[in-house]
Structure 1
């Protein structure tokens, strides 16, 4: 099994690439060494500081989902909700520039990131890697990581990287 850390640079050995599935363009992690795509929920990503979180509760916030821009690559807003009756670590997500909640982090992710956000959250960046433009409402997956890691995975793949397996 390929490691997700580039031991020479200390950065993840993955980058985000466009992938079309079901008529939608999403971003998927592609291993630089093998060219293989991996799911956003692959636990090896977390070991290198990349958390991809599928939002919960979207069906309750269809209007906000349809109004917001959750296209892949769009930044999103994270909002702590410590007085949430269901989870004191709750983290709500909205489109950038909006306060209209579209969904929530799952409990595990909320517990992990609530203290960071409570401390100011300056060390985090959140970006949609799967979602829809305004006017459409579907599944939303958010990447959350340190800014340098987000910049890395959105950056160009190394010239020596294996061709993504889905590029025929």
Structure 2
């Protein structure tokens, strides 16, 4: 079977991280409205004046915070080099009461990490051929006999006609002819039964 080697993004792990900076710049409302499972988007900020490794986090087009500095320092160089890609989603949102009796909303993020890997794949033309053959085999072995039995029942004469059109190497044309013959034989049998 002919194979081709291609480069694909392959999921290699997941990491859960606490979102930092959720109390700054009026982000609390966006954090509070976020729901677990919602997609989050990571945006590198190499020109951030506080941290050149900063990775901002957006949910529903609103910034909710940043990756923590230690995490950003580890991931940012790989993101910049294009050797890793992340898909993020909100893992959890919760609140607690601060010392000032204010309700503070927090968020955890689930990061799925993808890396480029070389994988071998079957040629599409061969895959199409195998898929077609599997469909043909399924039609020949299951669908056509079931259809024949439902329409005309079982008899040696119909079995011989049916076998003639469905035996050997079968193609889509022969499948259609076989179905047509089964339906035609069924109609003839119905007419003969009505006359007798």
TM-score, normalization by structure 1: 0.48
TM-score, normalization by structure 2: 0.42
- Bigger Rg over Cα: 2
Of structures 1 and 2, the one scoring higher in RCO (CA 8 A, sep 6+) is 1
